[in-house]
């Protein structure tokens, strides 16, 4: 699943994952709120959550919020899924904080015009592999 507020970048990510044939893209959302609303409609959550969530850190409609806190809260509730954060910001410090409470399955990519399909897929696979090996 993809959570990305930029429709062009969301479409780009959808194409990358579909072409890779390594992931089954279930759905995509324009905000963490839209994702959360859909999640509440799909109980039990364990069966609905994907193996991997690709998430723009700033994909919240509320400027005071960000999606990393939501992903961390889901992990705190016992849900296990890999997370690939995408952002125009450098996310090293954020990943270090997240890994303190949930050490595995987090990765990040910085959005740029030079980001390649290979980099996206490799980061996604690494996040999933780390989550499976825990």
What is the tens place of the pLDDT at every residue in 67-107? 898 899 999 998 889 999 999 888 888 899 999 999 999 99
Average pLDDT of the chain is 90
CATH of the domain spanning 2-133, picked from 3.40.190.10, 3.40.50.2300, 3.20.20.70, 3.40.800.20: 3.40.50.2300
Residue 7, SS3 per DSSP: helix
Domain ranges of the chain: 2-133
**Which among 103, 107, 104 is positioned nearest to 87, based on CA atoms?**
107
What is the tens place of the pLDDT at every residue in 30-47? 999 999 999 999 888 877
pLDDT at 49: 85
pLDDT at 134: 67
């Amino acid at each position: 699943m993809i959570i990305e507020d930029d429709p062009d970048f969301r479409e780009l990510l959808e194409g990358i994952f579909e072409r890779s044939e390594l992931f089954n893209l279930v759905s995509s959302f324009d905000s963490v709120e839209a994702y959360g609303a859909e999640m509440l409609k799909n109980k039990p959550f364990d069966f609905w959550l994907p193996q991997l969530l690709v998430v723009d850190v700033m994909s919240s409609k509320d400027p005071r919020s960000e999606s990393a806190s939501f992903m961390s809260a889901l992990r705190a509730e016992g849900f296990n899924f890999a997370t690939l954060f995408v952002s125009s910001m450098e996310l090293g410090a954020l990943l270090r904080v997240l890994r303190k409470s949930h050490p595995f399955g987090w990765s990040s990519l910085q959005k740029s015009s030079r980001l390649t399909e290979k980099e996206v897929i490799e980061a996604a696979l690494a996040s999933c592999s780390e989550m499976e090996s825990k």
